[in-house]
Every structure is written in structure tokens, then in C-alpha cells.
A and B are shown apart, each in its own frame.
Chain A
């Protein structure tokens, strides 16, 4: 059944009135007849609601910084924060020099009570010394955790002194878990630090190849960025840096030489995308490499941006060849998936990106949302001027960059920019909502209660989200697909990714296990037979 306002109201009426008032603003039923539908997002989490959200530390160290493989990430705090970001997110990395790949290490100052009482700066400085001696990394990043801000450890000062002592970049990130309202604050903090301390630190003045690009907001989960790079390199692009999947300090420091920045995850990296344009004059293009058509559109938009007929032709050749290869395979899976419905509730970008891939398999997304996206991710960047920063987000510093005197160069003329902007999403993202069908549900910061209620009402055939709700939903007999970890599969990006995804989704539907949920004795009475009229003659 579809959900109308009345049904939604009944659902919300089960909440205490204050909670209802709040949650009402975070849920909309898509209706394109309305001029605009505003959603509330990026506001504080309701205590006790059972959110799926994490913290600023997770957004900073766990998401943006952690994938950089030649950097030692020191987590300054008690042991948990480091432990839980050790190998749990599948940002893959490989390195020609395995002694410069620290991706399997977990380094923490492991603060003890005495560090809380007397301060942890000295211990942190010791850890930096020890890391230098053992690992000799290209850079060291320090991430703060909850108690660090409270006890007043001055990470920036420790990092500065250590950088002078050791002669490598040592950056501190004040991403205490309580900052902002979600992972999102951590993205912003990480973006600021990378822009200030890493990007542009290299001495390249020119790209080492044709069509130089950066891929922003791509974390190589399950090998996604390798599949994207495979396609791009074949077309002829030079990938300067990926932020930050399989990335490195060494790559990032020369990211300023790119001619175009691709933005996959808008939420986590749009700050850097904007700052790169201001500082170096490099425009960014919103791309989406999830789904065959989205990948094709992205490739064509890129080719259009560079405008080189040879590049355009090569792009079409690769597209044609890949399509011929994957379409028949996808067709087989589509037979299994056709006509089914999905929920798509993921962090800050995949809630949107996977809808196209689902649609290609014949699966309609009937509910979607984000844990921690902002209004622009839902409604498009046009609403940015209207977004008011509330008290919880105000304290996340904005970094203001200015054009680099030496390196700033307009990559395309303003006229061409205007012309291209009409055709392709240059420095623009239209958000998730515009692509959703009328009647579908858009929920921000979906919680456990709403998960159960919406499943009861909409009965989706597949639920895509994360590990915390996966088994909740499976217990109901509904297949559940993790779209953070890909259930340890992947890649899901690009052409090969679409095939992998289709295979995994089809497997989720066709697994024989679903047939065993009800024991046979539940469908059959214990005693069978008829009772003879007038009783049994034998007795």
C-alpha cells in the first residue's frame, strides 16, 4: 500500500508529542505537484530514539582520513575509537611498497585514567616518536576523540612541535565525537585539514598526462574505485588522486594539477570540491558510477567537459563494449528482480545513488533516506543559501580559501562554463528527492521504530541499509542488503560492479533458506482423521 498523510499521521501519533513534532519534519511523502517540499535534516538526534547515526570522529577518521594508506593515523583517546575503526570499513588499499601501506594497523594512545587527569599531550608526543621510529610514514594524522576536547589537550600544538622535530607533515584533527550531530561534522573537519595541510603541498605544476582528474568522495569500498579507475584509464584519463579510497598523502599533495574534479559522494567531500575551485580554478562535476546508466551518463558528461572529439569517441567505444558485455548478464538477473520494491536507507549519498541501479533491475525504491545528509543532498544545492546553521553545527569551523596567486587558473572560460552548466551537473547536485517517484517516502535519520513501522506498511521485498538493522529485517523474513559494507562483496561501482550487485541481489531473493522459516508442523494439525458419527464403535 502507499502511505498517505493520514497513515503517516497515525504512525507519528504513536510518538510522545515532542518527538512527533520533531520527526514530522524529517519525513515527507514525495509529491511533485507541490512547488517545493522542504525536509529537515542535519539536526540533533533525539535521545533514546535508536538512531543509526555515528559521530564526528567516525566521519573524520573512519571515513575520510582512514583510507589514506601511507599515513599513520594516531587516534588520541581511550582504545575503543581506534579499535572500532580498525578494518571494519572496507576501504581497500594496495601499495607497490608494502612497507608504506599501513592500512592494517591500528594506532591509539590508549588513554588511561592518569591521562584524563594529568593530560595526554606527553603520551601523544611519545607515540609520535615511536611511530616515526617504527614506521617512517609519509605523514602522521592525529584524530581527537570525546574526552580530548574536554580535558584541553592541545593537539595542534603537539602536532606542530612534532612536525618540526621529525620533518614530515603531522596534522591534528579536532574531530571529537560530540561535535556536530553526526558523522557529517567529521567530514567537514577532515576536509578542512586536508585542504590546509595536504592538497597543494606537492611541487607538481603540471599533470603528468592527458585529461587529468581527481575522484572525490570515493572510498574504494570493496574495490569500487579500482573499477572506476579501470574504465577511466582505458578511456584515456589521468587519475591524479582519489579522495581517499586507496589514496595516499603522496597523491593528494599534487591534487591541485587536475583539470576536473569528480564528486561521487557529495556530502563528504563537497567542501574540498568547492575550495579547489576557489583556490585553483578547477571545476567539479557531480558523477555517479553506481548503475550502468549513471556510469554512462557520468562518462559522457566528463567527455563533454573536456570536449575533445577523440576522447568523446573513445568514451563511446568503451561504453559500447562494456554495455555489450554486461547487458546480457544483467538481463538474466532482471528476470528475478523485476517488479520488486526496495528501501534504500544509507549514510549520506548511497541512499540516492543505488536507486538507479535498483531501477535497472526492475526494482522500485519506495522509501529512501540518509542518516546524516543535509538539505542540499535531499533538495539540491539550490537550497544552500536558505539553510540556517543551528547551534549544534555552528561550531564546526568553515575554512575560507582564496585563489592561489601562482597556481590559480580558470580551467574553462566562464562562457563555456555557463554553456556546459546547462547540459551537465557542473558544480551542481540536484539532490535525491527530484528523482524519486510520487508517493514514495523520504526519511531523514530513520530510527528503529520507524523502520519497523514502514516495513509493516510498505512490505518491501528488499531492505538496504547497514549492519545494525540487517538482522532485524532478516528476522522478519525480508532480505537485507548492506550498502555500506556490501555484505563483504563488491565492487558495486561501474560496469562490473553492476553485475556483482545484480548477482548479489538476485541471490538474496532466490536463496532457498527463506522457504524454511515456518516449520512444517505449524501448518499441519497434530491430529488428523475424522471423528466417526456416534463415536467409535470399538469402544
Chain B
């Protein structure tokens, strides 16, 4: 497996080999699915739309709907305005969503199609809405696309209509699974705080089997709620890459202060979320959550010898990887390789994302661990690092399985996309509950390996 990857590392500038990212529109499509009765629309040639639907479908094992402008060569030369207008007409006539969320591709961006003008002059039925976000594939990654579409929701929909803000929070969960969104909602509900989560794909891409196909399932943030985000007291953006642009835009547009936190993976980041909510809304943390936290610490203590000192390589999307790095550090593990494919400067112009490499390095320095950290890296390079110094555990999306096999590494699947296992999108990795689940996954991977490798006389019943 991957027999052509040499140990010796040479600098490369020609592009990516085995990328640790994909392109913007798939993130925008995912974000748009988090609006109730929304049909995502891809303004480009139809190959993009098919690929993005396919990959999301493979990850969620659920229907992923989206339409496309289906550019031809003519449209690519003379502009895709007519295609989009035709599409808008057809989509509302045939598929009747409440809202269409249009994103772009490298094609329409290179041409320079002026979407606001095209949309303004399109035939949109009474009471229906079309929003858009520019998502050029040659900038950033799929996380940037998620961020841009979420920001597009604010641009088009958020309205400050009240004199005084409501005692409610906006929560932007970031590019996470519906299982995570459900868990974040549960935590905040447990605290008794009113909130609007957007986007929210729970109930959309994890819809139940009923014997009936519903094109627009129950889930998704409602249009009225999206508008009402302008009246909230605060926006909590989880994951700076995926969520901070939208939160900052909401602050600019509707004077809702933005607070950017880590994706709440692991104990520290979850603590931070709870503490922030506690401060903002002056509510005490209910015992139910305190109990969960105590259970998590209990397990961490009980099992610390499973992970302590083990070397880990983590790759994936920056928000997830940053928080996961913090979590494995709190388990006493050594994340010696930390890599994201998303470039360090992934945001739209003028955005303020922080810096992945600096943020991770700060965590490592605090723990006194020397490691390699890279934004805009690829899995070919990560594999070369591992060839030079082996790790005990690999954490990342499905594409890591090639490296795990090549180097015979225990492997924990985390992030997007996971194409070769099921159930993962239903269960959380965020919050204390999610941390327990991650702990179980890590323990199982390491102990299964210990069992596999043990000689008969060292094969343990109790571990």
C-alpha cells in the first residue's frame, strides 16, 4: 500500500498529492442543507454538483438534494446568467422549496458571473427566497465554502428588528455532523437558554426511515429564525474557520456581538462553551451536565494508562483538528504531527481567523511537546513524516486508511468525509458525551492492536 511514497522528504511546490481538503462548494452545499425547506443550487457545470452530492451522500448515507445550472461551453464563454434564471424558474416550479441557496464553482467565478444582478432579475415566485454565496474552489477549502454560505445566510436574511435584543443566543456549530449539532442543542437546552442554531442539518441528513421519501425533511433552521438571528443577544461561533466570518458579519450588520470559541471537542473546549454561556446568560450549570463532566473525568482517570505518552498524528479540518489536538493533550498523549489541508489564510478577504499553525503550536508548547504542524499540507507529506518517525495512532477522515494500512497503525476515524463506516454522523464527538465516545474509540483502537499483537502468554483478559 502506497509503496511509491519515499521516506525522504523534498519540498514540493507543484500542488497537492493525496489532499487533506476538498473544494469550497461542497461545504456550501452542506451548510445550505441546514436551512429548512432549502434546495442548494450549484452555479457551474453539473459535474461539481454531482460530485458534491455523491460525497455528502456517501458520508451521511442519506439523500442529498441539490440542483445545478448545468453550464455548457456556450454559457462558459458568454456567462451563465440565462442558465441560472432558467434553473430558478424550474426549481420553484418543479421542486417548490421555500428557499434556494446558490453557490458558485471555479467555473462561474473565473467567468465572473454577477450573481446579485442575476438573482435580482430572475423570476422568483411570491414568498420565495433566493440567497447566494461566492465559493471559488481555488480559494481555501470546503470549510471556507461552509463559512461563506453561512455568511451568505446572514447577508440575505438576518434582520435587527427590535430595539432591545432578545435574551437568546445564536449558535453557529461549524462544519460538524448532525449528531454533533443535536448534542450542542441538547447541552444548551439543558442549560435552559433560548437559542437559534444555524445552519442545522440535524433532521435533514440523518432523517428517519418512514417508508415515505420527503424531499424537505423536518430539520433545518427555519427562515423566520434565520431572520431573527439579528435580534439575538450574542452569537457564539464554534470553530473559527467555519463560523467566525458569519458571526462577525452578524455583528457588523445587526450589532449582535460575536464570540468565537473552539469546536467543543474534548473537556477543555466544552468547559469553555459552558462557561461562556453561563457568563452571557447568568445561568448556573445544571447538575446533569456537571455529572456528565464528572463521568468523563472519571473515565479519563480510569483509563489514562491506555493512552498516556502515545504518539498521535491528527489530520483533517482545522477547527476539528485544533480541538482534537487539545483533547489528546489532555489525555496525556503526544500529538507530534498535526496537519490540515485547509490553508492558514482560508477566509474571505478581511476575515479574522486566527492562525492554525500558531494556535496548534501554542498548545504543543504549553505541553512541552515538539511536533510538526502544517496548514495547507497534504497526506503524502504526513505519510512521509510518519515514515521518518512512527506514531502509535492516526486520527483523521477515511483517506487516512491508506496510511494506516501502509504503516500498520491503529486508526480512529474523525471528521469529514468518513465513507467506509456508518453511524458516525448520528453520534456526537462534541460535548462531554462526545468526548466519552472519542475516548472509547481511541481506547478500542489501541487495545484491539495490543490484543492483536500480543503473544498467547501475554494475551490479557482484563485490560
Contacts and interface: CB of A to CB of B under 8 A. Distances in A.
Which of A129, A146, A472 gathers most chain B CB within 10 Å? A146
A149 B75 CA distance: 13
B25 interface: yes
Interface residues of B, number: 82
A400 B131 CA distance: 48
Given A55-B45, A83-B23, A149-B76, A48 B16 contact: no
A345 B212 CA distance: 21
A314 B69 CA distance: 54
Nearest to B2: A104
B106 A108 contact: no
A84 B10 contact: no
B63 interface: yes
Interface in A88-141: 88, 98-99, 101-102, 104-113, 115-116, 123-131, 133-135
A44 B63 CA distance: 25
Contacts of B52: 80, 84
Nearest to A181: B72
Contact of B22 (A46, A83, A146): A83
Contact of B44 (A99, A146, A392): A146
B18 A46 contact: no
Interface in A442-457: 448-449, 452
Interface stretch (A268-276, A336-344, A473-481): A473-481
B14 A54 contact: no
A53 B1 CA distance: 32
Contact of B47 (A58, A78, A105, A129): A58
Nearest to A151: B110
Interface in B307-336: none
B47 A471 contact: no
A426 to B, nearest CB: 35
A150 B14 contact: no
B224 interface: no
Which of B25, B71, B94, B214 gathers most chain A CB within 10 Å? B94
A94 to B, nearest CB: 12
A324 B175 CA distance: 55
B107 A50 contact: no
Contacts of B15: 74, 107-111, 123, 127
Interface in B41-100: 41, 44-48, 50-55, 57-58, 61-76, 83-84, 86-91, 93-95
Interface stretch (A14-22, A212-220, A248-256, A415-423): A14-22
B461 interface: no
A468 B94 contact: no
A517 B211 CA distance: 6
Nearest to B18: A106
Contact of A104 (B1, B105, B111, B211): B1
A18 to B, nearest CB: 8
Nearest to B107: A146
B138 interface: yes
Contact of B88 (A48, A102, A176, A391): A48
Interface in B230-267: none
A391 B77 CA distance: 13
A116 B90 contact: no
Contact of A47 (B26, B87, B93): B87
A177 B48 contact: yes
Which of A105, A145, A468 gathers most chain B CB within 10 Å? A468
Given A55-B47, A108-B16, A468-B50, A80 B72 contact: no
Which of A45, A53, A79, A466 gathers most chain B CB within 10 Å? A79
A132 to B, nearest CB: 11
B45 A178 contact: yes
A77 interface: yes
A22 to B, nearest CB: 10
B317 to A, nearest CB: 13
A527 to B, nearest CB: 24
A470 B46 CA distance: 19
A179 B212 CA distance: 37
Given A48-B90, A449-B95, A54 B47 contact: yes
A518 interface: yes
A509 interface: no
Interface in B138-152: 138-139, 141
A45 B53 contact: no
A317 to B, nearest CB: 39
A15 to B, nearest CB: 7
B19 A82 contact: yes
A49 interface: yes
Given A15-B94, A110-B19, A134-B4, A517 B48 contact: no
A49 B67 contact: yes
B210 A475 contact: yes
A369 B45 CA distance: 22
Contacts of B89: 16, 48
A474 B12 CA distance: 45
B45 A113 contact: no
A433 interface: no
Interface in B172-231: 207, 209-214
Given A47-B90, A130-B13, A392-B73, 18 more contacts: A16-B90, A16-B94, A19-B90, A46-B70, A47-B86, A51-B50, A56-B47, A78-B106, A78-B137, A80-B22, A82-B16, A106-B17, A127-B14, A133-B10, A146-B48, A392-B72, A471-B61, A475-B212
Interface of B: 1-4, 6, 10, 12-19, 21-23, 25-26, 41, 44-48, 50-55, 57-58, 61-76, 83-84, 86-91, 93-95, 105-107, 109-111, 136-139, 141, 207, 209-214, 341, 380, 399, 402
23 contacts: A16-B93, A48-B95, A53-B50, A78-B136, A79-B19, A83-B21, A84-B22, A108-B17, A116-B110, A123-B13, A123-B15, A127-B15, A128-B14, A134-B10, A135-B4, A146-B44, A150-B76, A178-B71, A178-B72, A391-B74, A468-B50, A470-B57, A517-B210
